[in-house]
Every structure is written in C-alpha cells, then in structure tokens.
Amino acid sequence: MDITKDIQAVTTFRNNSAAFLEQLKKTRRPMILTVNGKAAAVVQDAAAYQRLLDIAAQADVNEGIRQGLEDVKEGRVTQAREALTAFRRRHGIPR
C-alpha cells in the first residue's frame, strides 16, 4: 500500500472520482477514504472485490474439510446407511 496514493480524503475522491476509479482498476489495490483524517471507508474495483469473495469462499470450504477430517479423527461419524435411515424416520419418508 502506498499511503500517498491509497489513502485519500473522501472529498478528494468525490472531486476526482473518474481518475481514482481508473487508478483502482489499474492497480487493483484498495483505497482507504478518510473523513476528518480518520479512515471511513475502503473502496476497490469490482474485479478485486470478486477475487476477495472467491478467496473467502475457498477459505470456508477448506475450513469445512478441516472440520470433517477432525470429526473422522475423533470418531464423530455415523455410517451413511444409519444416517439415511435416521433421516427418513425423522422426516417421515417411506423407504
């Protein structure tokens, strides 16, 4: 992050929004907007935001897998046939 370019007052951003949007697209770095010298918002281009969402989704998947492997290691598992039978009973689904 380059604080001379990536941190701007919200009024400066508002007055030069087209140029800053081009910078966001070109650098793919987020920009921190300040109000009265304090961080108020973070803006980034849509592609960079989508990448962030994709990374977060992958992290959720990896965590789910990690938890599943831990459950197996700790013996917190049920045979599929038993689980399906219990599910059918609980929901009144005939076999």
Q: What is the pLDDT of residue 95?
A: 83
pLDDT above 70 coverage of the chain, percent: 96
Full-model pTM: 0.62
At 4-27, the pLDDT tens digits run 678 999 999 999 999 999 999 998
Q: What is the rounded average pLDDT of the residues 65-93? A: 94
Question: Would you list the domain boundaries of the chain?
Answer: 3-44, 48-91
The pLDDT tens digits of the residues spanning 68-80 come to 999 999 999 999 9
Task: Assess if CATH 3.40.1620 describes domain 3-44.
Answer: yes
- R_g over Cα of the chain: 24
